[in-house]
Structure 1
Amino acid sequence: MFPLVFLTVIALDQLTKHLVRGGMALGESIPAEGFLRLVHIQNTGAAFGILDDARPWLIAVSSIALVIIIWLAISRRIGFLDNIWGRLTLGFIAGGTLGNLIDRAYYGYVTDFLKAGIWPAFNIADASMVIGMTILVFLYLRSEYPRSQ
């Protein structure tokens, strides 16, 4: 499950970003106004534009996080992640992490293109990480792990 989700997230993320970079002008919005829009934005920072222009640091942290996530998926050392939902979760998080890491390393910025209401623009990698982290928290809270400490 992990490799399938991991590779699917990376492929969808990179394909959609490629289509946006090639089909929309920087700053363009379709439609021009509204709750849900396609936009073309280059984010040189992290989530919500924080840590703007901290590319080397963001690449290093993302790389370390990716190694840890893959190790967790392979080692199966954390009980509440050693099931199909845990592997799905780690696939979402690792795929999203690598999707944005590719952009940062190759382009120097992350391409964001989905805009919903007041939220800052995001992409498939961002959405994948949020979905993965949400499932991770749910799995953790439902496990015996927090009660055994």
Structure 2
Amino acid sequence: MLYFSILFISICDQLIKVIISKNLYITQSIPVINNFFHLTYIHNRGAGFGILAGYKNLFIFLSIIIIVLLLIYRNNCIKNNFFDLAIGIIIGGALGNLVDRIRLGYVIDYLDFRIWPVFNLADTAIVTGTFLFIIYYWGVEKNNE
């Protein structure tokens, strides 16, 4: 489950980014649901919300460290499919954005809900995986009481 989710998320993320970059020009926005959801192609040179733009090497280093630490942590824990899915989704998302930073020097973002900064599948995976991870630990803690 772990390696499947890592590969699935990172490959889907990269494929979507290739499709976006080949079919839209930078800053182009196409309404999917007018004034609610658009596909907007941007280059994010920072972290979430574009903060710390220009610190590409720091983000590469931190991404690698986080991926390695999550894998070490996972190998030292009691594993089940839910736990592996959570960790795999986080790592897959981190890997998707890491590939962009190494290959392009920026992250391709494209999901634009008009009330939030533009983001991508990898960002969504990191947040979703983190929520699953928290849910897992709430359940483990309850079972240990």
TM range (shorter): over 0.9
Closer, same or farther in 2 for the Cα pair 1:106/1:145, shift >3 Å?
farther
Q: Which residue of 2 aligns with 1:56?
A: 57
Q: What CA deviation, in whole Å up to 9, does each residue of 1:45-92 have, x standing for no partner?
A: 00111111110111100011111122233x1x234xx21100000110
Q: Distance in 1 between matches of 2:30 and 2:114?
A: 14
- What is the count of residue pairs matched by the alignment? 144
What is the TM-score of this pair, normalised by structure 2?
0.93
1:135 paired with 2:132, answer: yes
Gaps of 5+ in 1: none
Match of 1:78 in 2: 77
Q: Is the 8 A contact 1:140 1:146 kept in 2?
A: no
TM-score by length of 1: 0.90
Moved segments of 4+, more than 4 Å: 145-148
Residues 1:60 and 1:31: Cα distance change in structure 2 (over 3 Å)? same
1:147 Cα shift?
Answer: 6.7
Aligned residue identity for 2:51:
I
Structure 2 gaps, min length 5: none
Task: Render the CA deviation track for 1:66-124: whole Å, top value 9, x for unaligned.
Answer: 11122233x1x234xx2110000011000000000000011000000001131111111
Identity of aligned residues (%): 35
| Structure 2 residue corresponding to 1:102, chosen from 81, 99, 103 | 99
* Distance in 2 between residues matched to 1:21 and 1:146, nearest whole Å: 47
Closer, same or farther: CA 112–146 of 1 in aligned 2, 3 Å: farther
C-alpha distance in 2, partners of 1:10/1:133? Answer: 16
TM-superposed CA distance for 1:140, in Å, is 1.3
Aligned equivalents of 1:8 and 1:114: distance in 2? 19
Does 1:121 find its partner at 2:122? no
Q: What is the Cα deviation at residue 143 of structure 1?
A: 1.5
